[in-house]
Amino acid sequence: MKKGSFQWMKSLNRTIILNKIRTDGPISRAQIAKETKLTPPTVSSLVLELIDKELVIESEQGESVGGRKPTLLVINSERFYIIGLDVGAKKIRAILIDLSGKAIDKTQTPIPSSISNEDLLTLIKGTISNLTSTHEAKEVIGIGVGMHGAVDVETGTSLFAPGLHLRDIPIKKTLEEEFDVPVKIDNDVRAMAFGEYWFMEEKKDENIVTVNIGNGVGAGIVLNGRIFHGKYDLAGEIGHMTIDLNGNPCSCGNIGCWQTLISGPAIAEIAVKQLELHSDGILFKMAEGDLTKIEGKTVFEGAIAGDALSKKILEKTGEYIGIGLTNLIHILNPAKIIIGGGVANASPFILPKIKETILQRGLTSQAKTTPIYCSKLGSYGTAIGACALILGEIFEGDYSAAE
Ligand SMILES: [Zn+2]
């Protein structure tokens, strides 16, 4: 892997100019000065530095307003590259992108079911090396990691990875020693949320929430363009808000958590209970009569195949998701909510019910019509979001310190 020459900027004015070029380029020096309120000489000298660092290039000539045509500036997006990792319970997804977010390459590495801290770190290093070895000439300037479970963002340590039964994995320290580039780590759902924020197609909303609904349920909260962690990195653990006082036990030890009603395993469990009572129908045939074969995904496939029971279960799931999201809207009033994770794949069956529930329960007309949509970043959303952690630092300053 090529590395080294890139210097991270710690100057606010340079960062402001760089971000202006990213969001509004091609743009002239005069226009930057006008819009950032920095003086033209300051802009000129800082732009020179950015060109010297090869982060910015002069592209075309702009429209002349009398006199010489101004030269326009754009980001030199193919000069540097970023690697993003999504370390889940069963596999590591890795992606290599350029500074514009364009994906250059992707890989997947399975994680053995029983693994030590050291072996996991070796596997992560190997994943990065494999990805970069096929792109030798590309200069990587940062590595972002979306790690499942509880993460200490400051030290870049995985405190607890429940899917792997591991604790205290020094990911940032190990990768920085190995690859000699800055490494940033956050919890997987927060990384995904930041990716949604960073790569939002339309005008950026500064306050958004991404809710990941898969084997577990968690949220990534972006407030004022920064990831919100809370005092002890606990913000977003909404899978464990109590929705049903008399509900099912949750893996956390409480009863009736939101997660026990809407996660993939919860959907499967509800289906199995129903099939134990009435063992027929499309879903039963799909499982070939073996109820242990039924997963959340099977119920979704059943719904596609026209199974009435599957559709009913997913509609009920949509209603419970809508109830939790209404609570979230009333607490944070986000500009939009994005749903990701495996359950989001069932959006044709759950989304109408989610919206209907919010429409019924929201306090005001704005609350009732909060935009809800499914993530478009796809299965590499967390890995892309992990890259965005690095992009955020390059273009908008340090986000890791935000509480
Ligand atoms: Zn719980």
Domain-located, residue 283:
yes
Say what the pLDDT of residue 233 is. Answer: 86
Say what the pLDDT of residue 157 is. Answer: 96
- Assess whether 226 and 363 both reside in one domain: yes
How far apart are the CA of 303 and the centre of ligand 1, in A?
Answer: 27
Say what the pLDDT of residue 397 is. Answer: 74
- Assess whether 153 and 271 both reside in one domain: no
Is the bond preceding 170 in cis, omega lying within 30 degrees of 0? no
| CATH number for 110 | 3.30.420.40
How far apart are the CA of 244 and the centre of ligand 1, in A?
Answer: 11
Say what the pLDDT of residue 396 is. Answer: 83
How far apart are the CA of 252 and the centre of ligand 1, in A?
Answer: 4
- Edge-first strand order for the sheet with 166-169 is 150-152, 157-161, 166-169
Domain boundary among 155, 181, 199: 199
> Which structural domain, as residue segments, surrounds residue 27?
2-75
How far apart are the CA of 259 and the centre of ligand 1, in A?
Answer: 6
Say what the pLDDT of residue 187 is. Answer: 94
- Edge-first strand order for the sheet with 27-28 is 27-28, 71-75, 56-61
Domain-located, residue 114:
yes
Distance of CA 6 to the CA centre of its chain: 26
- Assess whether 123 and 91 both reside in one domain: yes
- Assess whether 103 and 168 both reside in one domain: yes
Task: Answer for the pair 339, 373: CB distance below 8 angstroms, yes or no.
Answer: yes
Who contacts 63 (Cβ-Cβ below 8 Å, separation ≥6)? 69
- Assess whether 307 and 370 both reside in one domain: yes
Q: Where are the alpha helices (DSSP H) in 37-99?
A: 40-52
Domain-located, residue 403:
no
- Assess whether 85 and 189 both reside in one domain: yes
| CATH number for 43 | 1.10.10.10
- Assess whether 31 and 109 both reside in one domain: no
Domain-located, residue 370:
yes
Burial of 283 (0-12, 13-18, 19+ CB in 10 A): buried
Domain boundary among 172, 199, 226: 199
Who contacts 346 (Cβ-Cβ below 8 Å, separation ≥6)? 299, 300, 303, 314, 317
How far apart are the CA of 222 and the centre of ligand 1, in A?
Answer: 23
How far apart are the CA of 129 and the centre of ligand 1, in A?
Answer: 37
- Domain count of the chain? 3
- Assess whether 60 and 20 both reside in one domain: yes
In angstroms, the CA 318 to CA 315 distance is 5
How far apart are the CA of 258 and the centre of ligand 1, in A?
Answer: 7
How far apart are the CA of 254 and the centre of ligand 1, in A?
Answer: 5
How far apart are the CA of 64 and the centre of ligand 1, in A?
Answer: 62
How far apart are the CA of 240 and the centre of ligand 1, in A?
Answer: 4
Domain-located, residue 388:
no
How far apart are the CA of 167 and the centre of ligand 1, in A?
Answer: 20
How far apart are the CA of 101 and the centre of ligand 1, in A?
Answer: 35
How far apart are the CA of 260 and the centre of ligand 1, in A?
Answer: 7
pLDDT digits (tens, 9 = 90+) for 10-20: 678 888 999 99
Say what the pLDDT of residue 270 is. Answer: 94
How far apart are the CA of 213 and the centre of ligand 1, in A?
Answer: 14
In angstroms, the CA 33 to CA 25 distance is 13
How far apart are the CA of 189 and the centre of ligand 1, in A?
Answer: 17
- Assess whether 71 and 107 both reside in one domain: no
Domain-located, residue 381:
no
How far apart are the CA of 265 and the centre of ligand 1, in A?
Answer: 13
How far apart are the CA of 317 and the centre of ligand 1, in A?
Answer: 17
Closest CA to 75 of 33, 34, 20: 20
How far apart are the CA of 261 and the centre of ligand 1, in A?
Answer: 10
Say what the pLDDT of residue 4 is. Answer: 47
How far apart are the CA of 343 and the centre of ligand 1, in A?
Answer: 18
- Assess whether 68 and 125 both reside in one domain: no
- Assess whether 177 and 227 both reside in one domain: no
How far apart are the CA of 90 and the centre of ligand 1, in A?
Answer: 21
How far apart are the CA of 253 and the centre of ligand 1, in A?
Answer: 6
Orientation of helix 40-52 relative to helix 29-36, angle to 10°: 120
In angstroms, the CA 113 to CA 111 distance is 6
Low-confidence ranges of the chain (pLDDT < 70): 1-10, 62-67, 201-203, 398-403
How far apart are the CA of 146 and the centre of ligand 1, in A?
Answer: 22
- At 104, list the tokens: 């250059």
Domain-located, residue 383:
no
How far apart are the CA of 219 and the centre of ligand 1, in A?
Answer: 14
Domain-located, residue 397:
no
How far apart are the CA of 217 and the centre of ligand 1, in A?
Answer: 9
- Assess whether 239 and 185 both reside in one domain: no
Domain boundary among 48, 75, 102: 75
pLDDT digits (tens, 9 = 90+) for 117-143: 999 999 999 999 999 999 988 999 999
How far apart are the CA of 267 and the centre of ligand 1, in A?
Answer: 16
